[in-house]
Amino acid sequence: MEGERPFRLPDLSDAGTYVVDDRGLIVEINPRAEELLRRTADELLGRDAHDAMHRGERGEPLPRSRCAMRRPLLTGSTAYGERDWLERGDGSLMQVSWLVTPCRTGALVLFHETANPKDEWRPPLALTSMSELDRLALLAETTATLISSLDSDETLRHLVRLVVPLLADWAVVDLLTEEGGVSRAIVVHYENGALTQRPDLERPMPPVPSESAMPLARALRGVTATLVGPENYEGVLESDLAVAQRDMLVATGIRSACIAPIRGVREVIGAMTLGRADRPQPFTTGDLLLVEDIARRAGLALDNARLYERQRRVAETMQRHLLPRLPTLPGLEMGACYVPAPDASQVGGDWYDAFVLPSGTAGLVIGDVVGHDLDAASGMAQVCNMLRAYVGEVEAPPSVIVDRLDQAVSRMTETTMATVILALVEHADGGWRLRWTNAGHPPPLLVERDGRTRFLDDASGLLLGTGLCPLREDAVTELPPRSTVLLYTDGLVESPSHCIDEGLDRLRRHAAALSRHPLSAFCDRLLTRVRPSDNDDDVALLTLRVPG
| Residues 335, 522: Cα–Cα separation, whole Å | 9
Domain end residue (candidates: 113, 141, 172): 113
Strand ranges for 264-347 from DSSP E: 268-276, 333-339
Does one domain contain both 509 and 538? yes
Domain end residue (candidates: 292, 312, 332): 312
- CB 95 within 8 Å of CB 113: yes
Does one domain contain both 95 and 182? no
Does one domain contain both 359 and 228? no
Q: Which amino acid is at 496?
A: P
Domain end residue (candidates: 312, 336, 355): 312
Predicted local confidence at residue 151, as pLDDT: 82
For residue 144, what are the domain limits?
127-312
Judge whether 317 lies within some domain.
no
CA triplet 12, 13, 17: central angle to 5 degrees? 65
User: Which is nearest to 124 in space by CA: 273, 279, 285?
Assistant: 279
Contacts of 493 (CB under 8 A, 6+ apart): 442, 500, 503, 504, 506, 507, 530, 532
Predicted local confidence at residue 75, as pLDDT: 66
| Residues 346, 311: Cα–Cα separation, whole Å | 9
Say which CATH number the domain at 184 has: 3.30.450.40
| Residues 301, 271: Cα–Cα separation, whole Å | 14
User: Which is nearest to 392 in space by CA: 383, 401, 404?
Assistant: 401
- Reported as a pLDDT band with limits 50, 70 and 90, residue 116 is low
Number of domains the chain is built from: 3
Does one domain contain both 190 and 265? yes
Res. 464: pLDDT tops 90: yes
Q: Which uninterrupted H or E stretch holds 66?
A: none
Judge whether 465 lies within some domain.
yes
Average pLDDT score over the chain: 85
Q: Which class for 91: exposed (0-12), middle (13-18), buried (19 or more C-beta within 10 A)?
A: middle
Does one domain contain both 202 and 138? yes
Strand ranges for 278-357 from DSSP E: 333-339, 348-356
Q: What is the mean pLDDT of residues 173-188?
A: 92
CA triplet 165, 269, 292: central angle to 5 degrees? 45
Res. 23: pLDDT tops 80: no
Cis peptide before 165 (omega within 30 of 0): yes
Q: What is the mean pLDDT of residues 12-17?
A: 78
Of 6-10, 216-220, 223-227, 297-301, the poorest mean pLDDT is in: 6-10
Q: What is the mean pLDDT of residues 145-165?
A: 85
Which DSSP string corresponds to 460-490? EEPPBTSS--PPP--EEEEE-TT-EEEEE-G
